[in-house]
A and B are shown apart, each in its own frame.
Chain A
Amino acid sequence: MSERTETAAPATVPAQSAPVSPAPTGSVDSGARKGPGPVSWLSWWRGEAGESARRNLALIGVLVVLIVIGMITRPDLYGDLGWVGGNMMTILKLASAVGVVTVGMTFVIIGGGIDLSVGAIIALAGVWSTTVATQQFGAGGMIFTAVVVGTCVGLVNGLLISYGRLVPFIATLAMLVAARGLAAEISDKQTQVSTNQTINGIASESVLGIPVLVIILVAVVAAGWVLLNRTTFGRRTVAVGGNPEAARLAGINVRVHTVLLYTLSGLCCGIGAVMLTAQANSAQAAMANLYELDAIAAAIIGGTLLSGGRGSVVGALLGVVIFATITNLFALNDLSPEAQNMVKGGIIVAAVLVQQFRFKSLTQFFARNRLSSTS
């Protein structure tokens, strides 16, 4: 609790006085960084600001370990460089739809909420955009429908939470059930095949050798990073999640901001629905099953605090890629999905344990060290 308020309060004040002040690099709360020079780099690395960089590096370390395991277990495949490149793209494509959803989820969690309805929103947006009537409007109409449906459902979530005073968990749980029900109603429980070649092409085409899905993922993550770290909106999100009361006193309209966060999550789901529909050439009410858990898990191991006030979009992306790499690794070695789920669970627990360890002891350890060296 104490860390949250400490990190949130300083972030709030500059956001109000100078919204477009040139922000320092690193995470949101990078006030600890001093001028250039090797010594300050070291202290930046050790301090609060280096926190997210350290965490991301740890996640990259996990990725490297996973890839090394792949190399050891399937040397026949990893010996072929062309295959390695193609496999990397397969992993990123696998991560693409859930990655986009995770960006929205990260914002919601940083803002102190949770969105359990993301999978259901994807299903509703996907089904709505692949009905016979919508498909007549062509690719543009389908994308428009998916994005608008997703955004509107997110908006409803936000209004229920902000103005209906529903707990986010309950409001989005209700939406999870209702949106899947509506999706089943619209699709009449059928799998709706997308016959639109432009939509299906999103999953099969590449630009300059990079699959379109991966380009969308990178673009959304980049936009999310800028929004979180370089705009007033991002600073307000951190403030609202860290300490809503302080944020309100600082002049932020917490209610409107909360609505915007859930709307943003809905928008991401709409984009994700287009990507998933393209990949499966179809949509149905049962699609994107349990995506909410994948997205929350990825955000958490990426370093986002479930209680809000802190988080990283890049970390969330790394979390999604780690999960996709595990799926890939298990497929390469013909291992069962049960074992895969157990490993996933283990990684989530380990990530949270490491997170607690870092907060409770590591920072204190560094703080003590610094104190003793200066005195």
Chain B
Amino acid sequence: MTQHDPLRPVRDLSRRRLLLGGAAVGAGALLTACTSNETGPTGNEQVKEADAGANPNASPGKRVVIGFSAPAADHGWLAAITRNAEAQAKVYSDVEFRTVQAGADAAAQRAALSTLISQKPDVIVMLPHDGKELNAAGLEAMKAGVPVVNLDRAFPDALAYRLQIKGDNYGMGVAAGRYIGEQMKAKGIANPIIGEIAGMDELELTQERSAGFAAELAVYGFKVKNRRAARFTADTGQVEASQLLRAEPKLDAVWNHDDDQGIGVLAAIQQANRSEFIMVGGAGSKAAIDAIAADNSVLKATVTYSPSMASSAISLARLIGQGRGMSDLVELQVPKEITLASETITKENASAYSKLGF
């Protein structure tokens, strides 16, 4: 093998190689112009403007350094979390925002956090890769005297956080189940055929959503006929929806857990020319809210799991750092746990929510 290398060229082909290379470079130069995304995500942040007249808490106070850590975004929702936190921090003149890369996994985030803790910020806001795995990091920060705001993924240990603000996955399923239940009752359908397109099945949040959905449907005496699990991406949503539509030639209602994968679900529904059922989305993306307002597809409602919680987390972290409470509450300090209610967005209230879509 060393003597006769099979990969050694038999004759020189430098001219062809040059042509190929030249073509590649030329096409590359042409195509790099095509990577711009001008109407990208900017201008879509969910922030609370600092209006000191309406809210005395908004008036500038003690300077607060907020450290922030969230996993690298691979999904629209996570990207919106980071964007919202940055945008909300910019609103306050008294907040210095320091973000550390959380890296690809829990170990990387733990390392990043210990660097952050050593810099002694006033408050740390973090969305952990996994609440259980980052519990120790939360404890470490709290012991060092830095209050921790846990965003969405709870720590098992109550000592590991000062404030926990999270969405309600079970409640999301309940809200979707209630909307479908009410609609079916209003239409007088006694035995509706209900489909469900879940997200990644191995995640606890998906199981909570499905459990809430099933429990609420049971209140109406309904149950899910066919449940498919996609992977939170549009292409998998399309695959699962097209198969679901084949399996059930007639449907009455569908709940799709995630509006991002819902792009693919809606595409499959349109490709199959189906419109006899109603669909409820999940999370509350801008595209979904617009579609609900336009009322020109099967999508009639979506139940929120809003990344606006990141903006709220920054506002509350600032109040914690300044020792202020929430002005509408009697307590002088920010409460310890806040769970967002999953709201149902329909055509009637879509206009109020359109600025909250991500």
Instruction: Name A's B-contacting residues (CB within 8 A).
Output: 74, 77, 80, 83, 86-87, 90, 93-94, 128-129, 131-134, 137, 141, 145, 148-149, 152, 155-156, 162, 165, 184, 186-193, 200, 203-204, 244-245, 247-249, 251-256, 258-259, 276, 279-289, 327-328, 331-334, 336-338
Contact = CB atoms under 8 A, between A and B. Distances in A.
Nearest to A152: B24
Given A155-B20, A189-B74, A251 B270 contact: no
Contacts of A283: 234
B17 to A, nearest CB: 8
Contacts of A289: 231, 233, 236
A128 B31 contact: yes
Interface string B168-207: 0000000000000000000000000000000001000000
Contacts of A251: 10
- Shortest beta-carbon contacts, A-B, top 4: A331-B243, A244-B6, A281-B267, A280-B234
Contacts of B235: 276, 279-280, 282, 284, 287-288
Contact of A188 (B34, B79, B233, B268): B79
Interface stretch (B118-126, B159-167, B221-229, B303-311): B221-229
B271 A285 contact: no
Contacts of A165: 7
A245 B237 contact: no
Contacts of A327: 239, 243
A94 B264 CA distance: 13
A286 B4 contact: no
A195 B330 CA distance: 50
Interface string B221-260: 0000111110111111111101110110100000000001
B263 A280 contact: yes
Contacts of B28: 152
Contacts of A131: 34-37
Query: Most chain-A CB neighbours within 10 Å: which of B34, B232, B260?
Result: B34
Contacts of B238: 279-281
Interface residues of B, number: 61
A254 B232 CA distance: 42
Contact of B242 (A94, A184, A249, A258): A94
A289 B75 CA distance: 14
Contact of A253 (B9, B76, B242): B9
Interface stretch (B38-46, B150-158, B312-320, B345-353): B38-46
Given A155-B24, A193-B287, A338-B201, A244 B243 contact: no
A203 B268 CA distance: 9
Nearest to A288: B235
Main secondary structure of the interface of A (DSSP, over half): helix
Interface of B: 1, 4, 6-11, 13, 16, 20, 24, 27-28, 31, 33-41, 73-76, 78-79, 201, 225-229, 231-240, 242-244, 246-247, 249, 260, 263-264, 266-268, 270-271, 287
Query: Most chain-A CB neighbours within 10 Å: which of B28, B35, B38, B78?
Result: B35
B6 A90 contact: no
Contacts of A128: 31, 34-35
Given A162-B7, A280-B237, A328-B246, A334 B227 contact: yes
13 contacts: A74-B247, A80-B249, A83-B249, A90-B242, A132-B37, A133-B38, A193-B263, A200-B267, A253-B9, A256-B13, A279-B238, A281-B266, A285-B74
A248 B8 contact: yes
A245 to B, nearest CB: 5
A184 B38 contact: no
A327 to B, nearest CB: 6
Nearest to B267: A281
A245 B246 contact: no
Contacts of B237: 280
B4 A133 contact: no
A282 B234 contact: yes
Contact of A203 (B1, B227, B240, B271): B271
B6 A191 contact: no
Nearest to B25: A152
Given A90-B243, A280-B263, 7 more contacts: A74-B247, A132-B39, A188-B40, A191-B233, A279-B238, A280-B234, A333-B247
A332 B34 contact: no
Contacts of A244: 6-7
B201 A337 contact: yes
A340 B62 CA distance: 58
Contacts of A193: 263, 287
B37 A187 contact: yes
A93 B27 CA distance: 31
A134 B8 CA distance: 40
A74 B76 CA distance: 38
Contacts of B7: 162, 165, 244, 254-255, 258
A323 to B, nearest CB: 12
Given A133-B38, A193-B287, A287-B234, A204 B33 contact: no
Nearest to B243: A331
Nearest to A205: B271
Contacts of B24: 152, 155-156
Nearest to A260: B20
A191 B231 CA distance: 13
A282 B247 CA distance: 24
